[in-house]
Amino acid sequence: MISWANFISQCFNGLVLGALLALISSGLTIIYGTLGVLNLAHGAMFMLGGYAGWLTFTYTDSFIAAVFAGSLFVMVVGVVMERVVIRYFYTRPHEDQLLVTFGLGIVFVETIRLFFGSLSKSVPPPAPLVGITPLGFMFYPTYRLALLGIVAAALLALYVVLYRTRIGMIVRAGVEDSVMVDSLGIDVYKVFMLVFGIGAMAAGFAGIVNAPVVSIAPDVGEGILVQTFVVVVIGGVGSFPGAVLGGLIAGEIISLTSMFNPGYAYVMLFVAMTLVLVVRPYGLLGTAGRE
Amino acid sequence: MTSGKTPANSGFSRRFLLRQAVATGAGLGALSVGGPAGLPLIMPAFADDQPPIGTWPAGSQGDTVYIGAATPRTGPYAVQGEDELKGWQLAVEHINSGDPLLQKIAPKVSKGLLGKKVALLVADSGAKPNDAVQEQQTFINQNKIILMTGSTSSAVAVALNKFAQREKILYTTGISGSNDTTGKDCVRYGFRQNFYGETAANAIGPVLLKAFGKNRKAAWMTPDYTYGHTVTQSSSDYLIKNGGWTKVTDQVSPLGTQDFSQYLTNIANSGAEILLNVNWGRDAVLSIQQAKQFGILPKMKLVIPYQIPFLAKEVGPDLTEGVYAATDFWWTLEDKYPLAKAFVEAFYKKYNYRPEWGANNSYMSFAIWARMVSEAGTFYPPTVIKTYEKGETFPSTVGDVHFRPEDHQLVRPVIIVRGKAPKAMKNSEDYWEVTEVQPGAPLMQKPDAFGCNLGDYV
């Protein structure tokens, strides 16, 4: 059963899953790192991206249009959510922030259910990416291979924005000390709005590019949210590289454990998280004092 | 329970007891402690032959009797839960109006049940046992429900079985495919209408051996709870014993899994020729779609040992073409059974789609319950249970059926269907062709084979 080919295949599965988790988690972690708000509606953002993309696809038959529509729609939702609700919660206790984002998540999910029902909706991959690709030692779904590239490109884009632009510099400064950024004369609230939009967009983008792999349904974000939190904790809260590293580690743990006993896949994930917390309480790439 | 305060009269109500028990802070666990301690205080006050039990007689003293349904409207079984709900709603409507279809099954029902209106209370269980039990507890406290229903996960069915027995309130399962529901976890207060792992396996087994031959290599996909384990057990036992098949791998996944790549990779490397997918609801949809992505389908032959409502609609008929499945009901049975035709027509008229087997199961469960109550002439639970246990034959949407008194399982046919090719479909819901209707009795295990011990009436 545990052959060389199977091992490599599982490593691949872990890589694809891990890349996806990395992307979603990076959105969550920059929002938390900058704004101090733990966005429990992040899973719903992932779901909304899928639905907006699917709806666009049914009208345009274009996967590219679906990806753009899914990402932009969720970014707009994120910005509106920040302006209308979240900004009133920056100074309130964490429990209030958790409750309000949790509640918003439920509202998003049930609104979608009201309009589209619970039946799964599928978005086919673009024509050139349909089918399976022989990799010598195994066959692998072509779109999943492409997904690896797509997600890697998105992470790279996020990296460039965060580390190679002025706005990224402000965001990173905000993660370290938002009060100081504010007192330097930068309108930190405008930055907050932008960060919330970008973080949400990362989830929305992941939601639509993942739709050809996992058909969408109103609850699609729920399971992802839990895994994403684990990734953020493993990688270190507020750390973008941490989210990427944590995502890949989580993906590999889930996949490789499944090879031996699928029943333990998630147990091992939580064991890993516990070990990280014992050895490095702020996560692998986190730093003390970030909040 | 607070001691030292012996009530002067029977004003020390069940509701008070419940509230006190909950108030002790130990939640449901406390009820089992609070119950027995409190009971002797009330029991002597009623000396007639029908002492209060459960919500009786309080629950049936008004002009309306309530039924509590805990069904998944969110989560992986939401689609099936919603369909089930429609079946219950139609049945309640038919009971209250004295519909001719319902009267064929329950002749003594005429506009309501024993002169009372029937009302359905609904809560979303998310297919989680704890949620379902808490919701039913609320319905008991607030509405004194006289019947509980709902599951769409055998884990919920088993939990509600036990809860029903403890609370002494009747329970008819919703969809529940585990052998345990009327096997080792059977109860006096629980009844199941639909087919289950063992009857599904014994019905589809011979069909598979005929279609695919002996000595084949098969992989199983199993959801990790009582339903999955017992259906996989029954189906693999049959095929290994009678056909010399080999179980090359069994991929067990948690309920609610979305990415099946790890499991499918193991299957792709297992050398299996046939894939028996026991996953259910959205898990089945996703695992089948992803099996296609990995090229496992159509390379391996797919078999659905326990049919999933709306599967073909969700994955598309391309993927279900030629697939064998065991099921409880399929709408084209209307050509064979007049009651099925009446049911499908009534359902279609109200909801504008043809019912799946979950809705049929719900409708039949309530129709049968109405029959038993009206035959018994009382809502008193032990008398209703004994009416079920008479084992009388009555008509259903799949021909004549009867309850087995030893384990409260309905003896009913299992339907074998095969997926139609898209171009052979006569309408947009014509996904499956009924290939066989197998009589129920020969498919069932001996009543005690799975360790059923029903427990007490009072």
Residue-wise pLDDT tens digits, B294-310: 999 999 999 999 999 99
Of A48-62, A181-195, B4-18, the poorest mean pLDDT is in B4-18
User: How far is the C-alpha of A273 from the C-alpha of A247, rounded, in Å?
Assistant: 12
Is the pLDDT confidence value at B28 over 60? Answer: no
pLDDT at A5: 80
User: How far is the C-alpha of B108 from the C-alpha of B97, rounded, in Å?
Assistant: 13
In a shared domain, residues B80 and B188 = yes
Is the pLDDT confidence value at A176 over 90? Answer: no
Beta bridge partners of B325: B304, B417
Rounded average pLDDT over A147-163: 94
Please answer yes or no on whether B79 and A119 come within 8 Å at the CB atom. Answer: yes
Please answer yes or no on whether A9 and B286 come within 8 Å at the CB atom. Answer: no
Of B258-272, B298-312, B325-339, the poorest mean pLDDT is in B258-272
Out of B374, B393, B411, a domain closes at B411
In a shared domain, residues B274 and B309 = yes
Rounded average pLDDT over B5-12: 40
Is the pLDDT confidence value at B234 over 80? Answer: yes
Residue B389 confidence class, pLDDT cut points 50, 70, 90: very high
pLDDT per residue as tens digits for the range B390-403: 999 999 999 999 99
Rounded average pLDDT over A125-138: 88
Please answer yes or no on whether A141 and B293 come within 8 Å at the CB atom. Answer: yes
pLDDT per residue as tens digits for the range B149-196: 999 999 999 999 999 999 999 999 999 999 999 999 999 999 999 999
pLDDT at B331: 98
Please answer yes or no on whether B79 and A141 come within 8 Å at the CB atom. Answer: no
CA-nearest of A230, A267, A278 to A250 is A230
User: How far is the C-alpha of A20 from the C-alpha of A209, rounded, in Å?
Assistant: 9
Rounded average pLDDT over A262-289: 88
Residue A289 confidence class, pLDDT cut points 50, 70, 90: low
DSSP H helix total and E strand total for chain B: 16, 15
From A120, which residue of chain B is nearest by alpha-carbon distance? Answer: B314
Please answer yes or no on whether A9 and B269 come within 8 Å at the CB atom. Answer: yes
Nearest Cα of chain A lies from the Cα of B402 at a distance, in angstroms, of: 34
From B256, which residue of chain A is nearest by alpha-carbon distance? Answer: A223
Nearest Cα of chain B lies from the Cα of A72 at a distance, in angstroms, of: 25
Is the pLDDT confidence value at A264 over 90? Answer: no
- Which CA distances in Å does A93 have to A225, B215, B317? 21, 64, 52
pLDDT at B112: 96
pLDDT at A265: 85
pLDDT per residue as tens digits for the range B123-143: 999 999 999 999 999 999 999
More confident residue, A241 or A288: A241
Q: Supply B383's token pair.
A: 């008398």
Helices B261-268, B281-293: axis angle to 10 degrees equals: 50
Q: Supply A261's token pair.
A: 């006993």
- Strand-by-strand arrangement of the B324-327 sheet: B246-253, B217-223, B274-277, B301-304, B324-327, B414-419, B432-438
Rounded average pLDDT over A74-97: 94
The verdict on residue B47 lying in a domain is no
Q: Domain span at residue B161?
A: 58-195+338-411
User: How far is the C-alpha of A236 from the C-alpha of A5, rounded, in Å?
Assistant: 33
Is the pLDDT confidence value at B27 over 80? Answer: no
- Contact residues on chain B for A119, CB-CB shorter than 8 A: 79, 310, 313-314
Residues 6+ apart with CB under 8 A from B391: B402, B403, B404, B405
In a shared domain, residues B294 and B347 = no
pLDDT at A2: 63
Q: Rounded to a whole number, what is the distance in angstroms from the first to the last CA of chain A? A: 45
Interface of B with A (CB under 8 A): 73-76, 78-79, 82, 224, 249, 251-254, 256-259, 261-263, 265-266, 268-270, 282, 285-286, 289-290, 293-295, 310, 313-314
Q: Supply B266's token pair.
A: 């193991």
> Could you say which DSSP state residue B45 is in?
G
In a shared domain, residues B214 and B281 = yes
Please answer yes or no on whether B285 and A215 come within 8 Å at the CB atom. Answer: yes
pLDDT at B41: 42
User: How far is the C-alpha of B127 from the C-alpha of B228, rounded, in Å?
Assistant: 14
CATH number at B288 reads: 3.40.50.2300
Enumerate the domain spans of chain A.
9-218
- Contact residues on chain A for B269, CB-CB shorter than 8 A: 1, 3, 5-6, 9, 138
Helices A94-116, A42-60: axis angle to 10 degrees equals: 30
In a shared domain, residues B387 and B360 = yes
Residue appearing with tokens 């799964």: A120
pLDDT at B48: 59
Of A255-259, B47-51, B66-70, B234-238, the poorest mean pLDDT is in B47-51
In a shared domain, residues B280 and B351 = no
Interface of A with B (CB under 8 A): 1, 3, 5-6, 9-10, 13, 16-17, 109, 113, 117-120, 122, 131-132, 138-141, 143-144, 213-215, 217-220, 222-224, 254-255, 258-259, 262-263, 265-266
Q: What b/e string do you get for B129-153 counting C-beta neighbours within 10 Å, with b at 16 or more?
A: bebbbbbbbebbeebbbbbbbbbbb
Nearest Cα of chain B lies from the Cα of A194 at a distance, in angstroms, of: 31
Chain mean pLDDT for chain B: 91
Rounded average pLDDT over A180-194: 87
Rounded average pLDDT over A7-27: 93
Name the residue among A139, A141, A263 with its Cβ closest to that of B224: A263
From B285, which residue of chain A is nearest by alpha-carbon distance? Answer: A120
In a shared domain, residues B206 and B146 = no
Give SS3 for B70. strand
Name the residue among A9, A113, A131 with its Cβ closest to that of B265: A9
Please answer yes or no on whether B259 and A213 come within 8 Å at the CB atom. Answer: yes
Q: Calculate what percentage of chain A has a pLDDT beyond 70.
A: 98
Please answer yes or no on whether A120 and B285 come within 8 Å at the CB atom. Answer: yes
From B309, which residue of chain A is nearest by alpha-carbon distance? Answer: A119
Residue B236 confidence class, pLDDT cut points 50, 70, 90: very high
- Contact residues on chain B for A124, CB-CB shorter than 8 A: none
Strands B301-304 and B274-277: parallel
Please answer yes or no on whether B262 and A13 come within 8 Å at the CB atom. Answer: yes
Is the pLDDT confidence value at A147 over 50? Answer: yes
Rounded average pLDDT over B200-217: 98
Rounded average pLDDT over B276-301: 96
pLDDT at B89: 98
pLDDT at B288: 98
- Contact residues on chain A for B310, CB-CB shorter than 8 A: 119
Structural domain count, chain B: 3
CA-nearest of A212, A273, A284, A260 to A57 is A212
Task: Specify the amino acid at residue A124.
Answer: P
pLDDT at A290: 55
Q: Give the number of A-B residue pairs with CB atoms closer than 8 Å.
A: 102
pLDDT per residue as tens digits for the range B342-380: 999 999 999 999 999 999 999 999 999 999 999 999 999
The verdict on residue B91 lying in a domain is yes
Please answer yes or no on whether A258 and B258 come within 8 Å at the CB atom. Answer: no
Nearest Cα of chain A lies from the Cα of B336 at a distance, in angstroms, of: 30
Nearest Cα of chain A lies from the Cα of B269 at a distance, in angstroms, of: 7
In a shared domain, residues B278 and B376 = no
Name the residue among A5, A131, A143 with its Cβ closest to that of B269: A5
Name the residue among A16, A119, A140 with its Cβ closest to that of B314: A119
Chain mean pLDDT for chain A: 92
Of B3-7, B115-119, B143-147, B317-321, the poorest mean pLDDT is in B3-7
Strands B399-404 and B409-411: antiparallel
Q: Calculate what percentage of chain B has a pLDDT beyond 70.
A: 90
- Tell me which of B258, B270, B353 to substitute to probe the interface with A (most A C-beta atoms closer than 10 Å): B258
pLDDT at A191: 86
Name the residue among A109, A222, A262 with its Cβ closest to that of B253: A262
